[in-house]
Copies of this chain bind each other. A is one copy, B any other.
Amino acid sequence: MTRWKPDAAGRLTAAALALFDEQGYDATTVAEIAERAGLTKRTFFRHFEDKREVLFGGSEELLRRWEEAVAEAPPGAAPLAAVAAGFAPLAEMFEERHAFARVRARVVEANPELQERELMKLQRLADVVSAALRARGVAGNEAVLAAQAGVTVFHVAFARWVAQSDPAAFGGLLEESLQELRGLAAAGG
């Protein structure tokens, strides 16, 4: 049996993450990433626009999955339930990326520019989910609040998921965080 060889994009991603983690994101060049992966810069740029895309390339799939899940939630679902309909497909999408997500979280945490980019991604996610709710007939103000609440739950559960070692835990953590938010909101004013 030959040794398993990941695809070029996978090798470049692994090399980039390892370098970002070891020496910092800013200090890492595309040339170093390609060299570490045993590939050329040209190959890197066939797969990624820049080094930031190694960290944020998954955003589009995340947006699309959540948007679809909200659109396909049962017609009678309450706004927050329609938002939460995205949790299972998101958990499924992320499960196999746990090792990547754990290192990625550390890299983002260490770099203010990446933190800003991450917050922009979450805001864009909230905007997309909010638009998907409005398309279901949810009023504008409620759509914004429900989408932001859903992204908050996602954000908090994601932080818990990368802080522990079980890749399959994300779905449960999303559900648990949602129930905690519901409990907090129900507690006397």
Q: Which residues of A contact B (CB under 8 A)?
A: 78-81, 84, 112, 115-117, 119-120, 122-123, 141-142, 144-146, 148-149, 152-153, 155-156, 159-160, 177, 180-182, 184-189
Contact = CB atoms under 8 A, between A and B. Distances in A.
8 contacts: A79-B187, A116-B120, A141-B160, A142-B180, A145-B152, A145-B177, A146-B184, A148-B152
Copies of the polypeptide in the assembly: 2
Nearest to A80: B184
Contact of A80 (B120, B177, B185): B185
Contacts of A122: 119
A81 B123 CA distance: 25
A120 B188 CA distance: 30
A185 B185 contact: yes
A145 B152 CA distance: 7
Task: Sort A-B residue pairs by CB-CB distance and give the 3 closest, nearest first.
Answer: A185-B185, A78-B187, A119-B119
Contact of A188 (B78, B119, B160, B189): B78
Given A116-B117, A152-B149, A189 B141 contact: no
Contact of A119 (B78, B116, B142, B181): B116
A182 B186 contact: yes
A118 B184 CA distance: 26
Contact of A115 (B120, B160, B185, B189): B120
A32 B98 CA distance: 50
Which among A112, A116, A119, A185 has the highest number of chain B CB atoms within 10 Å?
Answer: A185
Nearest to A186: B186
Contacts of A141: 156, 160, 177, 180
